[in-house]
Amino acid sequence: MLHDWLGPGWSGFHAMNFFLLSLIKSGIVAFVLLTTLAYLQWAERKILAHVQIRVGPRRVGPHGLLQPLADVIKLMTKEDMIPSHVSKLLYLFAPFLAVSMALIPIAVIPFGGQVEVFGVKTWMQLTDLNVGVLFILAVTSVGVYGVALAGWSSNNKYALLGGLRSSAQMISYELPVALALAAPLLLVNTLSLRHIVEGQAGFYLGFIPRWSVFQGPWPQIFSFFLFLIAAFAETNRVPFDLPEAENELVAGFHVEYSSMKFAAFFMAEYANILTACCVGTLVFLGGWQPLLPDSLGGQFIPSIVFGLGGAISIFHGLNPARKLDRYTLPAFGVIFLGIAALFLIPILQAILLPLFWFAAKVGVLLFVFIWVRGTLPRFRYDQLMRFAWTVMFPIAMVNLLITGLLVALTS
C-alpha cells in the first residue's frame, strides 16, 4: 500500500529515505525558525540602536550575539506569577493559542525548488497544500483569539481594552489583507504557494523579473503596498501597535503576564511578522526566483555579497574601533568568504541559490518592519480604524476589480 502511494519504482530503501528526509526537514525547519525568531529580536535592537545613534546589545558575547540566549535564560528563570483574580484556564490557554497559531504556517512555506538528496527528490518545503494561502489566512486569523482571551481572562481593565482594540483592529485589517492577496492570485490562478512562485518564473525583455509586482496585465504594486501596510496592523507593529500602547494601556492585553507566558506572546508577534514577510515574498516578489538571469551573472550575486561582507569585516578587523573587534571581525570575515566560496560550487548551487534569494527578500521586508518602528509615530485609534475602512478597503476593492477585468479581457 505504501509502495502504491509513493508510486511505481520506489523501493523500500527509497521509502525509508523519504520518511527519514521528512523528519530531517522538520528538524531543520524547526531549528532555523526558532533561531531566526531569537535573532530577529537581536537584529531589531541593533538596527533601532543605530537609528537612534546608540550601540545596542554588545555585552553578552561578541557584538551581543549571545543576548537572545541570555534573554531566554532570564525569562525561564523569572518567577511565574499567576494573579489571583484571573480566569486561570483561559489565562493559561491564551499564550499557548497565540504562539501555536503563529508557528503552524511555517509548515506550508516553500523555501526553494525541488532537490535530490540520497536519491530522493524532495521539495524545500514541509508540505504543499493546494489551498496554502487560505490555510495561512485561516490559521493566523485564529491567533486573534489568543490576544482577546488574554485581555478578557486577565480580569484587568487595561488588558481588556487592549484585547478589544486588538480584536477590532485585526478583524478590520484582515479584509484588506485578503483583498490584496486575491488580486495577484488572479494572475497565477492557483492557491498553492509553490505554484504561485513557479508562475512568477522568467523575465521580461531578458532582465525584468516576472514577479507579481511587475507582471502584466496589471502589475500588483498597489496590492503589495496594501498587503505590507495591513501586515503591520495585523502583527500589532508601529504605527499600528494600539493593542500594546504602553503610554495608554501599560502594555495592553499582556500586562498580567510574566515569565515564559509573556515570552510566548513575544514569540507569537515575531513569528507573525516572519510569516507575513514570507507570504509577501512568495506572492509578490517571486519567492526563490532570482533577481537577474544567469546570463547576466545572477548566480554570482550571492558570492559577491558575501565576499564583500567578508572583505569589509576583515578591513574593519585590521582597523578596529574596539579591542575585541581585532579578533571577532576577521573571524566573521573568514566565515563570509567561506560561504561565498560555497555558492561557487556547482553541485551546491541548486540548493543554496534559491535559499539565498528567498532569505534575502524576506530579510529586506523584515528590515522594513524594523525601520518603520524606528521612524514613525503611533496612530490614534480612531485614525487607525478610519484608515482601514475608508482608505485601505476601497483601494483594495478597486485594485481587485481592475485586475479581474484585465485578466478576463486578456485571457
The reported pTM is 0.91
Mean pLDDT on 16-41: 87
Burial track 322-339 (b if 16+ CB lie within 10 A, e otherwise): eeebeebbbebbeebbeb
Q: Which amino acid is at 238?
A: V
Most confidently predicted of 171-175, 273-277, 322-326? 273-277
User: Residue 37: which pLDDT band, with cuts at 50, 70 and 90?
Assistant: very high
> What pLDDT is stored for residue 5 in this prediction?
47
Does residue 14 have a pLDDT over 90? no
Q: Can you say whether residue 139 is alpha, beta or left, with left for phi > 0 and alpha for psi between -120 and 50 degrees?
A: alpha
In DSSP terms, 120 is beta-bridged to: 117
User: Residue 395: which pLDDT band, with cuts at 50, 70 and 90?
Assistant: very high
Mean pLDDT on 384-406: 93
**CA dihedral sign, ordered 39, 44, 45, 51:** positive
Does residue 44 have a pLDDT over 70? yes
Length reported for the chain: 411
Mean pLDDT on 209-227: 93
> What pLDDT is stored for residue 206 in this prediction?
87
> What pLDDT is stored for residue 1 in this prediction?
41
> What pLDDT is stored for residue 248 in this prediction?
65
User: Regarding predicted confidence, which is higher, 381 or 14?
Assistant: 381
User: Mapped to the 3 state alphabet, what secondary structure does the chain carry?
Assistant: CHHHHHCCCCCHHHHHHHHHHHHHHHHHHHHHHHHHHHHHHHHHHHHHHHHCCCCCCCCCCHHHCCHHHHHHHHHHHCCCCCCCCCCHHHHHHHHHHHHHHHHHHHHHCCCCCEEEECCEEEECCCCCCCCHHHHHHHHHHHHHHHHHHHHHHCCCHHHHHHHHHHHHHHHHHHHHHHHHHHHHHHHHCCCCHHHHHHCCCCEECCCEECCCCCCCCCCCHHHHHHHHHHHHHHCCCCCCCHHHCHHHHCCHHHCCCCHHHHHHHHHHHHHHHHHHHHHHHHHHCCCCCCCCCHHHCHHHHHHHHHHHHHHHHHHHHHCCCCCCHHHHHHHHHHHHHHHHHHCCCHHHHHHHHHHHHHHHHHHHHHHHHHHHHCCCCCCCHHHHHHHHHHHHHHHHHHHHHHHHHHHHHHC
Does residue 144 have a pLDDT over 90? no
Does residue 234 have a pLDDT over 90? no
Sequence-separated (6 or more) residues with CB below 8 Å from residue 75: 259, 260, 262, 263
> What pLDDT is stored for residue 13 in this prediction?
52
User: Regarding predicted confidence, which is higher, 7 or 307?
Assistant: 307
User: Residue 249: which pLDDT band, with cuts at 50, 70 and 90?
Assistant: low
Does residue 2 have a pLDDT over 60? no
pLDDT tens digit string along 70-85?
Answer: 998 988 888 888 888 8
Does residue 284 have a pLDDT over 90? yes
270 vs 366: CA distance, rounded Å: 10
> What pLDDT is stored for residue 178 in this prediction?
92
> What pLDDT is stored for residue 245 in this prediction?
66
User: Regarding predicted confidence, which is higher, 100 or 250?
Assistant: 100
Task: Give CA separation, 309 vs 11, 40, 41, 227, 296, in Å.
Answer: 45, 19, 22, 32, 22
Q: For strand 208-209 and strand 203-204, is the pairing parallel, antiparallel, or unpaired?
A: antiparallel
> What pLDDT is stored for residue 78 in this prediction?
85
Name the least confident of 13-17, 42-46, 51-55, 259-263.
13-17
Query: Which triple of cell numbers denotes residue 263?
Result: 515570552
Computed over every residue of the chain, the mean pLDDT equals 88
Task: Give CA separation, 332 vs 23, 127, 260, 327, in Å.
Answer: 31, 34, 32, 9
Does residue 3 have a pLDDT over 70? no
User: Residue 15: which pLDDT band, with cuts at 50, 70 and 90?
Assistant: low
Mean pLDDT on 287-313: 94
First-to-last CA distance in the chain?
42
Mean pLDDT on 297-326: 91
In DSSP terms, 116 is beta-bridged to: 121
User: Residue 405: which pLDDT band, with cuts at 50, 70 and 90?
Assistant: very high
Q: Can you say whether residue 259 is alpha, beta or left, with left for phi > 0 and alpha for psi between -120 and 50 degrees?
A: left
User: Residue 10: which pLDDT band, with cuts at 50, 70 and 90?
Assistant: very low
Does residue 128 have a pLDDT over 90? no
